[in-house]
Amino acid sequence: MELHKVMIHLMKLMANNLGTDPEMLASFFEDGIQGIRMNYYPPCAEASKVYGLAPHSDATGLTLLLQVNEVEGLQIKRNEKWVPVKPIPASFIINIGDMMEIMSNGEYKSIEHRAVVNPEKERLSIAAFHNPKRCTQIGPLPDLIKTNKALYKTVSFQEFMKLKMSSKLDGKFMVKKLKL
């Protein structure tokens, strides 16, 4: 419940930054779908040969990630290079997901990331995925395409999820698939 409040607050701040109605954006997520995943990455002697999680971007609106221990493993793609994200104790990492990139008409970018394993230490993380209500249309917010053209197709939440579930983890697949 508290994570949901944090996410709604972040959505309102992001909407303000976009120059659109904060309540409208928050309303899509207010009674939305939240999923939690706990990740355990055991030590691996041949860490350079495997991924903990293949490169991908989250399909969500926002993902709040807690790195439970201080073992590095999360990497983000920046300027075509993989950059490690240092864990900060008792802090959340906020990942913008594909839905938010599409709804913001590209103003916010989803982040391509991966998890690598450590040869000596286990790594634990907890991810909270925040999606809008099932009745939401996933497409650029109307306020953002009054003066600029839409960069993405609009699809139903169900269509979006069906497309996501029928694909493998593959970079920013969803954003590329819905780009006009």
- The CATH code of the domain that includes 64 is 2.60.120.330
Domain ranges, residue 151: 2-178
Task: Indicate the number of domains in the chain.
Answer: 1
The predicted pLDDT at position 65 comes to 96
Q: What percent of the chain has pLDDT over 90?
A: 85
Q: How far apart, in whole angstroms, are the C-alpha atoms of residue 135 and residue 156? A: 7
Residue 114 has pLDDT above 90, yes or no: yes
Q: Which of 9-13, 92-96, 143-147 has the lowest mean pLDDT?
A: 143-147
The predicted pLDDT at position 48 comes to 86
Q: How far apart, in whole angstroms, are the C-alpha atoms of residue 55 and residue 71? A: 19
**Amino acid letter, 6:** V
Q: How far apart, in whole angstroms, are the C-alpha atoms of residue 31 and residue 4? A: 9
**pTM to 2 decimals?**
0.92
- In degrees, to the nearest 5, what angle opens at C-alpha 68 toward C-alphas 42 and 61? 105
- What is the number of other CB atoms lying within 10 angstroms of the CB of residue 24? 14
Structural element, H or E, at residue 115:
strand 113-116
In terms of Cβ atoms closer than 10 Å to its own Cβ (0-12, 13-18, 19+), residue 143 is middle
Q: What number is the average pLDDT over the span 35-54?
A: 92
- Residue positions counted in the chain: 180
Q: Which residue has the higher pLDDT, 165 or 35?
A: 35
- Which backbone phi and psi does 118 adopt, to 5 degrees? -105, 140
